[in-house]
Structure 1
Amino acid sequence: FAFPAEVRRIIYTTNAIEALHAKLRRAVRTRGHFPHDEAALKLLFLVLNRTAKEWRMPAREWHAARAQFAILFQDRLNP
């Protein structure tokens, strides 16, 4: 409870993160074996790029949270 409600809502939103992790796990599990680490990284890169194209809307509370972040961390955010 150290942060305002708007910030907590953004920080603790795990549905989007879990959905992304599920897509990455599914891609790795489907492929199964990788000849080297670079092949796995390429696959994850492609999955992330494809997933990024599907993202349409920011979180509903993002504008209020961004204002709170600007107040709390004014030295870290660029205007």
Structure 2
Amino acid sequence: MAFPTTEVQRCIIHQIRSSTRYVSYKDVKQFTADLKPVYKASTEETALSALDEFEAKWGGKYPLAVKSWRVNWNELSTMFKYSPEIRKLIYTTNAIENFNRQLRKVTKTKSAFVSDDALMKILYLTTMSIVDKWTMPIKDWGSILGNLLIFFGDRVKITL
């Protein structure tokens, strides 16, 4: 295994989207509202208790939607090991999704590239353009970095 100490955290938003595929449109709003206590819980025990309540309410009507949370729980609950600051960093994937969207935008209009090098060059230039626009610092970065050092001190490198 290339990264033996890797911990997997499944994207909560993608899990919600996946589970609501099985839910009638008229129930989606209440269904997702009832899911909030599960993924917003402060501890894994509280989250599991909320998931039990959620299952009691919705499990009979939408068993596949609830089952997907149970089946994927090991990869959904990784975040409960960490502080709220690190959790937010883990489950806010907007920056990553935005980056991927911008890369897709420049490649989807082309049906073919002259060579692999041509594709790599356009992706490189697009990446450089995107990186130039990253000027906003991450909110509360000092606190987040401190928490990362507590959990991953042997893997986080700080340059002064």
TM-score (norm 1): 0.89
| Residue 40 of structure 1: how far off its partner (Å) | 0.8
The worse-fitting range, judged by mean Cα deviation, of 27-36 and 17-26 is: 27-36
Higher relative contact order (CA 8 A, sep 6+): 1
Which of these residues, 42, 48, 64, is aligned with residue 121 of structure 2? Answer: 42
Which of these residues, 100, 108, 122, is aligned with residue 29 of structure 1? Answer: 108
Whole-angstrom distance in 1 between the partners of 2:157 and 2:99: 27
Identity score, percent: 35
RMSD: 1.2
Q: How many residues align?
A: 79
Contact 1:4 1:68 in 2 (8 A): yes
Whole-angstrom distance in 1 between the partners of 2:124 and 2:111: 16
- Is 2:125 the counterpart of 1:52? no
| Residue 11 of structure 1: how far off its partner (Å) | 1.5
Superposed CA offset, 1:5-62 (max 9, x none): 1011111111111111110000001233102211111111000000000010122132
Whole-angstrom distance in 1 between the partners of 2:98 and 2:86: 21
Q: Which residue of 2 aligns with 1:19?
A: 98
Whole-angstrom distance in 2 between the partners of 1:65 and 1:6: 6
Whole-angstrom distance in 2 between the partners of 1:78 and 1:4: 20
Whole-angstrom distance in 1 between the partners of 2:87 and 2:133: 25
Runs (5+) with no aligned partner, structure 2: 1-79
Amino acid aligned to 1:5: P
Q: Which residue of 1 aligns with 2:81?
A: 2
SS at match of 2:113: coil
